[in-house]
Amino acid sequence: MNTQPSNKIIRVGVLGFGGLGQAAAKVLAGKREMILVAAADQKGYAYSTEGLNTEQCIKTYQSQSSVGYLEPVGTLSNNSIQDLIATSQPVDGYFLALPNLPNDFIPSVAQEFIKSGWQGVLVDAIKRTSAVEQLLAMKEELQAAGITYMSGCGATPGLLTAAAALAAQSYAEIHKVEITFGVGIANWEAYRATVREDIGHMPGYTVETAKAMTDAEVEALLDKTNGVLTLENMEHADDVMLEFAGICARDRVTVGGVVDTRNPKKPLSTNVKVTGRTFEGKISTHTFTLGDETSMAANVCGPAFGYLKAGRQLHQRGIYGIFTAAEIMPQFVN
């Protein structure tokens, strides 16, 4: 049993410092219960026990393309995640704001943590069913390593999956969970991995072909669609998460959405509709709709840290292994 006081400030690392990683750093800057001590991108990492300066991290990343250039706390490295872990600096939990390209990249990062002997909380906002399945299969290894892994903790999967799990409580049987998301971003370069992974869901594309596309090829595709990606019947882990939590069979869950890469205004209101039968035999639908003013970044990073806090509480109680957003209630981070 961990004897550390539960009100201790949680030291957080953010792996991946692109669109979501930078937004995560900004979210943390406004928190008292968590502090950003580590950040890593493809070319380097930065660590500071007292806390990294968010503005300086973002400025350095945007001007020099790596937080590794941040003086005096940055280090350049082509193996930034392994090297950061190897420093053995104290970090209580990491948010993996990394591209999952290829589809086993985040599971391979989890393996690095297992091998390293580090103990703490890992949180991802991973999207594909097959990726979450790879992680779920690592449950015993995570348990043995003393890691509490919170998977699928962004917006979808994440906030909306958790909302579906809550809405399901009114019903005796769940017939349908329909998630429809609207994302508006000013330019696709701010969220390259998100856009590439979404292209991987389009007919005729795969994770591999989307990963292999050059920036010019992505731009050419977006030019053809006026910057808009329309996605249907996506392979999204909300299905396996709701099945794993015992709520409904995965084939009752559908996910689709519209992403406008040239306009920060959402093309439609993100929502989840949960249809079921009550114990009295009535068929009804609960709908949970996100406010249009809330950005993708707000709806991913808020829940990710809420689940990190929840994961920290589990970890302190000696509960290790893997949990998804459909099983655990996120804790609000002050």
In angstroms, the CA 218 to CA 174 distance is 39
Q: Which helix (H) or strand (E) holds 224?
A: helix 215-224
CB neighbourhood size of 248 (10 A): 21
Does position 301 interact with ligand NAD (CB under 6 A)? The reply is no
When CB distances to ligand NAD are compared, the closest residue is 18
The encoded tokens of residue 30 equal: 């406004």
Residues numbered 210-239 forming contacts with ligand NAD, rule: CB under 6 A: none
Interface of this chain with ligand NAD, residues 78 to 97, rule: CB under 6 A: 80-81, 97
Whether residue 43 lies in the annotated active site: no
Among residues 55, 115, 178, 197, the one annotated as catalytic is: 197
DSSP helix/strand/coil, 48: coil
Q: Does 17 bind ligand NAD (CB under 6 A)?
A: yes
> For ligand NAD, which is the closer residue by CB, 116 or 143?
116
What CA–CA distance (Å, rounded) separates 283 from 287?
A: 14
Q: Does 199 bind ligand NAD (CB under 6 A)?
A: no
| Closest C-alpha to 61, from 22, 109, 114, 108 | 22
Identify the active-site residue in 112, 127, 243, 309.
127
How many other C-beta atoms are found inside a 10 Å radius of the C-beta of residue 275?
18
For position 107 contacting ligand NAD by CB under 6 A, the verdict is no
Identity of the residue numbered 224? K
CB of 53 to ligand NAD, least distance (A): 17
- For residues 157 and 238, the answer to whether their CB atoms sit within 8 Å is yes
Output 41 or 92, the one with its CB closest to ligand NAD.
Answer: 41
From candidates 31, 33, 69, 99, binder to ligand NAD by CB under 6 A: 99
Which token pair is 211? 């990963």
Active site residue 224: no
Is 197 known to be catalytic? yes
Residues that bind ligand NAD (CB under 6 A): 15-21, 40-42, 80-81, 97-100, 125, 127, 154-158, 191-194, 197, 296, 300
